[in-house]
């Protein structure tokens, strides 16, 4: 079940998923993974029925754009369409807040994944946390 984080326990679960995926799997340093926007962002967590966290993301509202960030699904839960459900849920949350333009910094190997949601790459490839990324945007 996907939901907006509303308490400390849910926030810890989102951070746990991020630590597993970004810090452990992708070797992103902690001081890059956790930043000054944690307190102002809206966090999303995905939990199984037993409370086990499997996915997370965060949204920052920047001008006319909702920026989708820190989107992650734990390895054991991939290939079940949960990532697509997470992206759709995040965009629906942003739409409910009146946002219809979206952007993200997508890892280069995921541009096809986000393309299925209507995002398109803009500009040149760039490094973020020593990983190739593209700016991707979508307008409803």
Residue 123 lies in a domain: no
Q: How many domains does the chain have?
A: 1
For residue 124, being part of any structural domain is answered with: no
> How far apart are the C-alpha atoms of 67 and 59, rounded to whole Å?
6
CB 124 within 8 A of CB 137: no
Over range 2-9, report the average pLDDT: 97
CATH value at residue 79: 3.40.630.30
pLDDT in tens, 84-111: 999 999 999 999 999 999 999 999 999 9
Reported as a pLDDT band with limits 50, 70 and 90, residue 140 is confident
Q: Which helix (H) or strand (E) holds 47?
A: strand 42-47
pLDDT of 19-53, one tens digit each? 999 999 999 999 999 999 999 999 999 999 999 99
Q: Which residues pair with 27 in a beta bridge?
A: none
Question: What torsion, rounded to 10 degrees, do the Cα atoms 131, 42, 45, 71 define?
Answer: -20
Asked whether residue 55 is assigned to any structural domain, the reply reads: yes
Spatial distance between the Cα atoms of 113 and 66, rounded to a whole number of angstroms:
18
- Looking at residue 75, what is its pLDDT? 95
pLDDT per residue as tens digits for the range 51-83: 999 999 999 999 999 999 999 999 999 999 999
CA distance readout (Å), 43 to 31, 102, 123: 18, 16, 27
Range of the domain at 64: 2-103
Classify 40 as helix, strand or coil: coil
């Amino acid at each position: 079940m996907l939901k907006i984080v509303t308490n400390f326990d849910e926030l810890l679960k989102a951070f746990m998923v991020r630590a597993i995926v970004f810090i452990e799997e992708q070797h992103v340093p902690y001081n890059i993974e956790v930043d000054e926007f944690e307190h102002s962002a809206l966090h999303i967590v995905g939990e199984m029925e037993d409370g086990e966290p499997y996915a997370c993301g965060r949204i920052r509202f920047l001008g006319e754009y909702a920026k989708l960030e820190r989107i992650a699904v734990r390895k054991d839960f991939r290939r079940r369409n949960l990532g697509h459900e997470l992206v759709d849920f995040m965009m629906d949350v942003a739409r409910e807040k009146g946002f219809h333009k979206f952007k993200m910094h997508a890892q280069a190997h995921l541009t096809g994944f986000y393309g299925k949601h209507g995002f398109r790459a803009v500009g040149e490839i760039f490094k973020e946390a020593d990983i190739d990324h593209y700016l991707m945007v979508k307008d409803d």
